Amino acid sequence: MKMTNAFLSTTRVAPSALIKSAHLIERIGLAAIGSSCGLYVAAGLMRRGNELSGSGWIVLLMMLYGAFSFYVGIDLPGRPAQRSTPRRPEERNPGADAAQIFSAAGTFLVAMAAFLSVSIIVLDETVHGGLVALAGICWVVGSSFQIAAGTVARNYGMAEDVSG
């Protein structure tokens, strides 16, 4: 007996409710990751010293935008296995490809922005303001790509359950 079957047979919760709960917890975790990426980039921007990036509201907005973008855009359903025969043009779902590309590009840009920001903070180096601004721009564009990926996926019917 597989471990998942043993777990499901010992619980009193219906498997679909358990899976939906696990999916919601996963999405909340992804939102926390997006929020922390926003916090790291905001902390890196605060090192520039101008009054706009030093505002507490900007930090909060960046954290909320990061949480929203990761909640909406990271957890997209996988593409079905590719068949050995090529698909006909009318069978293709252009939204699926666009959502996957937006999600991948957004994840990469946000991760690089967070990595650069954390590196600047941890190494406590004085860097050119343009490099910090580049991290901020990469984060905003990447987070926006995540939201676009989630929007495209939901508009083309890729996601089975939009609420969670």
pLDDT digits (tens, 9 = 90+) for 10-69: 556 567 888 888 888 888 888 898 898 888 888 888 876 665 555 778 888 889 998 998
| Single-letter amino acid, residue 44 | G
| Single-letter amino acid, residue 45 | L
The pLDDT score that the predictor gives to residue 107 is 87
3-state secondary structure of 89: helix
Report whether 35 contacts 68 (CB < 8 A): no
The token duo for 81 is: 């296995």
Confidence of residue 83 (pLDDT cuts 50, 70, 90): very low
Confidence of residue 87 (pLDDT cuts 50, 70, 90): low
Report whether 162 contacts 71 (CB < 8 A): no
Report whether 99 contacts 75 (CB < 8 A): no
Enumerate the domain spans of the chain: 21-77+94-155
Burial 40-50 (b: 16+ CB within 10 A, else e): bbbbbbbbeee
The answer to whether residue 155 scores a pLDDT higher than 60 is: yes
Report whether 93 contacts 156 (CB < 8 A): yes
Percent of the chain with pLDDT over 90: 7
pLDDT tens, 113-154? 989 888 888 887 777 777 888 888 999 999 999 888 888 887
The token duo for 49 is: 């010293």
The token duo for 137 is: 């721009």
Outline where the chain has alpha helix (H).
Answer: 3-10, 15-46, 56-73, 94-123, 129-155
Residue with tokens 């359950």: 161
Give the dihedral sign, CA 114/120/121/127. Answer: negative
The pTM score is 0.68
The answer to whether residue 71 scores a pLDDT higher than 90 is: no
